[in-house]
Amino acid sequence: MDTTRNTVLEAWMNEHGHSSNSLADTVNMALERLTGRAGGLDGSSVRDWKAGRVKWPKSATRRALEDVTGLPATALGFEPRGRTPSTPAPPQEVTDTMKRRTLVGGIAAAAAAAAAPGAASPRRIGMSDVDRLQKRFAEIIASDHRHGGQLGIEQRAAALADEALNLQNAGSATQRVRSNLYAAAAAFRSSAMWAAIDGRRYDDAKAHMREAQALAEMSGDQAIKFRIWSHTGTMYRHMGRPADALAANDVARNLHIARRDPMFASLGMARQAAIRGAAQDRTGTRRAFDQAQDAMLRADPHAYRPLWMLAFYDQAELDSLALSAYLSLGAYQTAEFHAHRCLAALRPHMVRSRAIATTRLAHAQLAQGDADAATATAMKVPVDAATQHARVSRMLQEFGAALRATAPGSRTVQTWTEHAAAWRTTA
């Protein structure tokens, strides 16, 4: 049996930072989106591909691999059964020349087609269009972590969701591409939903939620379904509706992806704990956080996960949710402990999260009677978050009211009042 190594696939994996295990996990997720059933690949499956022991994977696996890479299987070094071995690859200089000729020829052909009346053919929508949208999604995620809750972020995300949907009618596409376009639209709409939640615009958030849920169902993407239902649980928690919050979060936690990947299970349990805290369920809060921590420790740090998950969920976020829960329960020492852990571990790009955790820490310190330390902490919140982020602004207003009630007429109150006034002037 000819077992010539698949060096093309190996080169693609090296370029994109994939190990055999991580590529297997990624293709398994794509298989689940395509078929509704989890894939059964592991690292040895990919090693068989690289070693040339499997020259032409099964049809569903090929489709999933093409979905992941954006390339046809033949361009990844695989050969259909019965095909004679391909000729050796031309030297790089020849390849580059051919690419330039193809590019120039393609531009000339496109120009000629545009010039010829009635000669235009329908546009072909492909994975390159999806990749472009994914880059815009990364920009939305970055803006959210820097600013959070802004109406402009919500509007940009909603417009990009519409752009993804418009592509469905802009030309022909494979079912795989259409599923990815629906997933992209759902992702943008879920970001619009989150910006509205963060900005306390709950009616708008609910409208985005309904559209995001429908788009996610059409995409079949488990990860984006999880994100939307998990956001829904958070929305109801902020609205003071813990029963609805638990029900929504349970939908996320019961998805197959949360059973397959402990990191998704951890996020689901961490948000469950925050809801339990808001509902004044001490035992349920502690149990859920223990389960969330255990699941995080079991999670494979190298497994493929979507951008939005990688960008925010880690130990710092787990401690941030614990801070919120224990603050709601009135367990102020425990809340302060988690606040310090969160702030020590937060990554630099988590600007919005740092402002929220800092404000909550100030509340926990004040509730323990340390007005001076609490005020010094609250004064560390950046001016833009203090004045432009709806959640942070409201928490700081509540902090000021609690400080005045705790230490009326004190120098500390005067210091805070002057600082808050300077914030408003600067803004």
- For 110-126, what is each residue's pLDDT tens digit? 333 334 444 445 678 88
Q: Is the pLDDT of residue 105 over 60?
A: no
Question: Rounded CA gap, 369 and 363, in Å?
Answer: 10
Q: Residue 353 CB: number of other CB atoms within 10 A?
A: 19
Question: Rounded CA gap, 256 and 174, in Å?
Answer: 26
Question: Rounded CA gap, 254 and 246, in Å?
Answer: 12
- 34: amino acid identity, one letter: L
Note the pLDDT of residue 201. Answer: 92
Note the pLDDT of residue 9. Answer: 87
How far is the CA of 364 from the CAs of 23, 224, 359, 361, in angstroms?
Answer: 44, 34, 9, 5
Note the pLDDT of residue 43. Answer: 85
Note the pLDDT of residue 82. Answer: 60
- Across residues 346-352, what is the average pLDDT? 87
Note the pLDDT of residue 427. Answer: 53
Number of H helices, E strands in the chain: 22, 2
Q: Are 56 and 82 in contact (CB under 8 A)?
A: no
Q: Residue 124: which H helix or E strand, with range?
A: strand 123-124
Residue length of the chain: 427
Q: 118's torsion region: left (phi>0), alpha (psi -120 to 50) or beta?
A: left
Question: Rounded CA gap, 144 and 197, in Å?
Answer: 12
For residues 152 and 414, the model is more confident at: 414
- For 243-295, what is each residue's pLDDT tens digit? 999 999 999 999 999 999 999 999 999 999 999 999 999 999 999 999 999 99
According to DSSP, the residues that pair with 172 across neighbouring strands are 124
Q: Is the pLDDT of residue 102 over 70?
A: no
Question: Rounded CA gap, 314 and 212, in Å?
Answer: 25
Question: Rounded CA gap, 161 and 210, in Å?
Answer: 13
How far is the CA of 201 from the CAs of 134, 170, 189, 329, 384, in angstroms?
Answer: 26, 33, 15, 25, 19
For residues 92 and 245, the model is more confident at: 245
Note the pLDDT of residue 142. Answer: 82
Q: Residue 260 CB: number of other CB atoms within 10 A?
A: 16
Kindly report the average pLDDT of the chain as a whole number.
85
